[in-house]
Structure 1
Amino acid sequence: MNITVLCGGLSGERDVSLTSGLMCAKALSKKGHEVFLLDVFMGTDFPPEKAFAERQDFSDVTSSIAADAPDLEEVKRLRGESPDGFFGKNVIDICKKSDIVFMALHGCNGEDGKIQATFDLLGIPYTGSDYLGSANAMNKGITRRLLIADGINMANGAHYTKNDYETGKTNEWSSFPCIVKPCCGGSSIGVSKAENKEEFEKALKNCFKYEDEAIVEEFISGREFSIGVIEGKALPVIEIIADGFYDYKNKYSGKTREVCPAEIDEETNKKLQAAAEKAFASLKLNIYARIDFILNSKNNEPYCLEANTLPGMTPASLLPQEARAVGIEYPDLCELIVNKSLARF
């Protein structure tokens, strides 16, 4: 099968995406597929008609995740010509020559449904959720409304715009501690915990550096879990034990410990898996996703944090660990995602 692995892009999760893409490309190549690894923003000078003529060797290709999110203005400068257009040179033409595009993108313009909608119009098959499910899950404000309407627990919260901050409307928030996060961000970029009004102001200011909408939620004390879902069926629960606040650095520094299957009683396990499956359906997701929860220490009830429609596929990522717990090794997981996605088309 000819597979383009699409990665990179122009979001704060660019480095994570490049690493996910490289791993997926290596895995799918080992499974015997003809794979072309492609940065959706940078593009390539490689002639599209020769993209799958010979197998690429990824053995010497390396990628790493820096301690801080990438400088996207520098990424634009590195591309040079037409820095304002999203799709790089030859990207669409190579994707058209694929049997399917493996979406290894994270964040905006990749996980938010825009590329999925473009590919739908162009008749290009791709992996993962369609444009509607992707858009629902990417916008945390929409996620909150849909999940709460379906009876899924979420922390009490509010949605604010940058204009609300500038006009003083955010002063109405009075519950501390709280979590402030960009409405459409990922990898905890721009996320802060505020213990008081002063920290809340700093958190909002930091959040609005990344986008113009913010979600504020009451802080819930408890254990953090994540559950992968494939075609509506939950994988084993994984617990995330962070060394301090679970921010971008902690996610990819190797300091965070994951336990899979999570060391919880069967009732709690079933409760988390059922909530993940319900969230998957509520958001109209397809093929696979990962749903994150906090287990409230006061009432032992799961509270949903967010849904990830293109979960990370890096060495530190959670979904591959969960799949391995039920005997699905990494290359098999990548091929499973390809086959189930292709069947939808």
Structure 2
Amino acid sequence: MAIKKITVLYGGQSSEREVSLESGKDIYHSLKALGYEVQLIDYPKNFFIEQFSQEDFIFIALHGADGESGELQKILQQKRVLFSGSDHKACMNTWNKNTCKNLLKKNNIPTPKWINVSSLIAMQRNLEDDFFDLLRPFKELFLKPAEDGSSIDVFKISNNKDLELAIESCINSSRAFIFEENVDFKELTVPILNGRCLPAVEIRTSESFYNFNAKYVNKDTQLLEFILPNDKKNELEEICLKTMDVMGCRGWLRVDLLQDKNNNFYVLEVNTVPGMTSHSLFPKSAESIGLSYNDLVNEIINTK
């Protein structure tokens, strides 16, 4: 059945609301230009599942838990309403970093070593503690929420003072976190569109890592085409496509990775609803191979 009527869900309640609002507006204008009947709905305050049927199509432009946890996708699947991107099971696999990394490890996909903790409240604040033995040897670690985006509550830790400050600075220390080894060399991302990898993008920032400021505040963050010899390019794409299959993703997604000084790749995480502002990573990669923003949007909604 040909898609005619499309609703773009944007906004949400996450730390990435402003990015979602911008993405949603850009997608809305693109769909209008493509000739679709389209409306914008600020989620969740103006969203009511009862107003949708199997004749509708939902373009999910929500970041964070609203659009990536799988809860919305489950509701839409139960109502048999078509929507963009991966189904609820795939989103559940990717949204929780511990779940995602366990799946990666089980399927022999390289990912940085990590430890999962249910809370930071009673956390030992000493890097010499036996708790950290699984990650040794290390110079630096990352502390990350098990479930969140936009680098909120993400800290780089090299000593006990950093650890103490990170725990004290967390917005919500009672939720689950992971401690993850730092693979220090290059940070990159690979967009995947309908089963094919778009050109990898290398991220260079003046920050110590690709944090909130690097993403949304600083003007000097560089998004560069990641040039590789053919054998390494094929290796990178194989890792990303295997990651997509293992997670059960479909349509469009973005795989974030690190490369070490020996040119080995490590999967950090998977984004099932990448940003779609005019300056976001996914459209930038598509543009580099001559795929316009409108063409990209059209491909996303016409996933087979």
What is the CA–CA distance in structure 2 between the aligned matches of 1:314 and 1:19, rounded to whole Å?
6
Question: Between the two proteins, what is the percent identity of the paired residues?
Answer: 31
1:269 to 233, 236, 260: 233
Counterpart secondary structure, 1:250: helix
1:306 aligns with 2:269: yes
Equivalent in the alignment of 2:32: 29
1:259 to 218, 224, 230: 224
2:156 to 188, 193, 196: 193
Instruction: Give the gaps of 5 or more residues in structure 2.
Output: none
On the 8 A contact 1:237/1:322 being kept in 2, the answer is yes
Equivalent in the alignment of 1:182: 145
Equivalent in the alignment of 2:77: 120
1:12 aligns with 2:15: yes
1:173 to 123, 132, 135: 132
Aligned residue runs from structure 1 range 279-290, under 5 A: 279-290=243-254
1:221 aligns with 2:177: no
What is the CA–CA distance in structure 1 between the aligned matches of 2:166 and 2:105, rounded to whole Å?
25
On the 8 A contact 1:182/1:207 being kept in 2, the answer is no
2:278 to 312, 315, 339: 315
Instruction: Give the gaps of 5 or more residues in structure 1.
Output: 44-87
On the 8 A contact 2:73/2:87 being kept in 1, the answer is yes
C-alpha deviation, 1:122, in angstroms: 1.3
On the 8 A contact 2:23/2:61 being kept in 1, the answer is yes
C-alpha deviation, 1:323, in angstroms: 1.4
Equivalent in the alignment of 1:278: 242
1:134 to 88, 91, 100: 91
What is the CA–CA distance in structure 1 between the aligned matches of 2:123 and 2:300, rounded to whole Å?
46
C-alpha deviation, 1:40, in angstroms: 0.9
Q: Please, which moves more after superposition, 303-312 or 98-107?
A: 98-107
What is the CA–CA distance in structure 2 between the aligned matches of 1:303 and 1:189, rounded to whole Å?
21
The 3 A distance-change label for structure 1 pair 106 and 10 is: same
On the 8 A contact 2:141/2:182 being kept in 1, the answer is yes
C-alpha deviation, 1:128, in angstroms: 0.3
Equivalent in the alignment of 2:102: 145
C-alpha deviation, 1:237, in angstroms: 1.0
1:103 aligns with 2:60: yes
On the 8 A contact 1:3/1:98 being kept in 2, the answer is no
Q: Could you say what the CA RMSD is over the residues aligned between the two structures, in angstroms? A: 1.9
C-alpha deviation, 1:231, in angstroms: 2.7
What is the CA–CA distance in structure 1 between the aligned matches of 2:84 and 2:203, rounded to whole Å?
26
The 3 A distance-change label for structure 1 pair 205 and 265 is: farther
TM-score normalised to the size of structure 1?
0.80
C-alpha deviation, 1:178, in angstroms: 0.5
The 3 A distance-change label for structure 1 pair 303 and 121 is: same
What is the CA–CA distance in structure 1 between the aligned matches of 2:22 and 2:186, rounded to whole Å?
28
The 3 A distance-change label for structure 1 pair 191 and 98 is: farther
